[in-house]
Structure 1
Amino acid sequence: MDVPAGDIARQIRRAYNRLGYPPSGAEAAEYGPHNRSTLDHRHDTDTSWNDVLIAAGVPTAREVILTDLRARYADRYEWDGDRIRVKSYEIEDATGISAQRVGRVLTAIAEGDCPQPDDLTIERDQTARHWMWIVCDGGGESA
């Protein structure tokens, strides 16, 4: 049985009303995908969660993370030529989205499972002890 995205979007809005609407972008992005059971989502639906979040007007974690990366790149906090280096925990501190989730989102982008944003290129790099993200000018498909 297919449940219309609009019906699920109304459930999400009701859930946000219980939290205090409107939530911040980070709260919205963190809340929706991790608390599906509280939204009475039917598991046999063909509606993707991305479509549901868009219908509800909720920014996805990817959108929140990319917004933070764009701001960091524009300010050029840490210069390495035309690239900046960012660690997941720094994005967690700025957005409130867990570092593990940030890592999953950016890994999907860097490995090609998700399209690169138009204005940035995101790559994965590693130091002796930490994974980090390299952000440089450029990009791929639409964000």
Structure 2
Amino acid sequence: MPIRREHRYFYPIDWPQLSATVRFQRAGGACETCGRPHGRTVYCLGDGRWWDAAVGAWRDGQGRTLRALPTIEDLGAIRTTRVVLATAHRDHDTANNADANLAAFCQRCHVNHDRPEHQRRRWRTLFRRRAMGDLFRGHYSPP
């Protein structure tokens, strides 16, 4: 995932090389959670199941082979996505670049990993806006 301009200074100067090492040397060019291969277009369903063409099997969101095939109704909602790996910080601290703290995730796994942190930040922003409204305009009234 591209780094926003205002956040670039939180990452080390050698971040592109460090990220490439984690994604392609350590992880072997595949997501460390679900196993989706970098740069390939895969068929996937809305719940995380995807077709692994290299093995010829359907996999779940954790990369395990499915025991039961998707139904015809499920296959009606099939879509394609191009997999792009990104290096994520497991503890969301960009200053902690220890090897154990970095992971290679595809887009889906990266968003799932970051979801609790994004919810926390959203709550904090909303709380701050309400507090500023109370401070300067009286009680906050939702729009």
Q: Report TM bin, short chain.
A: under 0.3
Q: TM-score w.r.t. structure 2 length?
A: 0.27
Higher helix content, 1 or 2: 1
Q: TM-score w.r.t. structure 1 length?
A: 0.27
